[in-house]
Amino acid sequence: MQQRTRGLLIAALFGLATLISACTQPPPQGPPRQTGEPAPAPAPAPPGAPSRVAAPALGVKVDNVAAARPPTGLAPAEVVYVEPVEGGFTRLLALYGEQKPPVVGPVRSARESDLQLLAQYGRPALAFSGAAPELLPLVSDASVVDVSSEREPGSYYRDPERESPNNLFLRPEQLPEGEPLKTDALPRIGTPPAGGTPTNDYEVRYSSATVGFTWSAEQGQWLVSMDGKPYTAVDSGRVATPTVIVQKVSTHDSVIRDAAGNPSPVAQTVGSGQVTVLRDGKAFEGNWNRPAPEEPTTYTGSDGQPIPVAPGQVWIVLAP
């Protein structure tokens, strides 16, 4: 009897051990990946924001009259300059580093102001649609790589849905490269200084144009307006920027004139003057200084301390 009881006990224990072993086995795995099966592709990066990498630099002259709007390709630019041109209008100079758009434009002609501005960034490529004959020798002597539509016609195309001359566009990837961007010439990033004047709207007036900025606390950016209307881009919607630098400059007339006889103004960006930096919903007053063409522009407050910019794109408005 004892042997029978002992046998039943051993059988029960063996069954329990088998059950426990089955319960602790790992779950079945799917079939192993075949060695020839490719790994999942990474998600594509979103449209590039400025990266401040010392990649080949490119400046593009972008038209800014009403007939040229909306533009395309501004969002990846490290800096967007607003420059006075003849007739009291403005044009843009978009400066790109590592991030470049597939298309940018409408592209228009260069001005003497562009050459002085770009000298602080090394030797960027400069894309433009043409220039007055008097300017071409200056372009050749300047610290830029000429990648104009005359030099690189295969990189440009005309949009048949727009009227000439506001329909020339550029494919940057097809251009010869400029030298690496001197990133230390870009405005310094940092926390805002103490003080500042709370500001909701700021407008810069030219004789035939206005450029406005409205603070959006929700977006943490300044919404850009041109001639009192929201400024939008084909590829990115409403144009906005975290930082605006309004750089007061003197101008003088160059020998270049437009078809109406208006002289082309040259913005003097070497030297010093007053500046207003807009960021974080405030205006900070101070001074700008650039001792030589190859030197970067610095922005300081009344105490002599730097006025840093917020991360992201910077708009610099040259205000006569």
pLDDT of residue 49: 60
Does 58-318 carry CATH code 3.20.20.150? no
User: What string of pLDDT tens digits covers the 320 residues of the chain?
Assistant: 434 434 433 334 334 334 334 333 433 333 333 333 333 333 333 345 677 888 999 999 999 999 999 999 999 999 999 999 999 999 999 999 999 999 999 999 999 999 999 999 999 999 999 778 888 999 999 999 999 999 999 999 999 999 999 999 999 999 999 999 999 999 999 999 999 999 999 999 999 999 999 999 999 999 999 999 999 999 999 999 999 999 999 999 988 887 788 889 999 999 999 999 999 999 999 999 999 999 999 999 999 999 999 999 999 999 99
Delimit the domains of the chain by residue range: 58-318
The predicted pLDDT at position 125 comes to 97
pLDDT confidence of residue 256: 82
Tokens coding 106:
């409408």
pTM of the full predicted structure?
0.84
3-state secondary structure the chain: CHHHHHHHHHHHHHHHHHHHHHHCCCCCCCCCCCCCCCCCCCCCCCCCCCCCCCCECEEEEECCCHHHCCCECCCCCCEEEEEECHHHCEEEEEEECCCCCCCEECECCCCHHHHHHHHHHCCCEEECCCCCCCCHHHHHHCCCEECCCCCCHHHEEECCCCCCCCCEEECHHHCCCCCECCHHHCCCECCCCCCCEECCEEEEECCCCEEEEEEECCCCEEEEEECCEECEECCCEECEECEEEEEECCEEEEEEECCCCCEEEEECCCEEEEEEEEECCEEEEEEEEECCCCCCCEEEECCCCECCECCCCEEEEEEC
Nearest in space to 267 (alpha carbons), one of 25, 132, 82, 40: 82
How many other CB atoms are there within 10 angstroms of residue 262's CB atom?
16
- Cβ atoms within 10 A of the Cβ of 190, count? 12
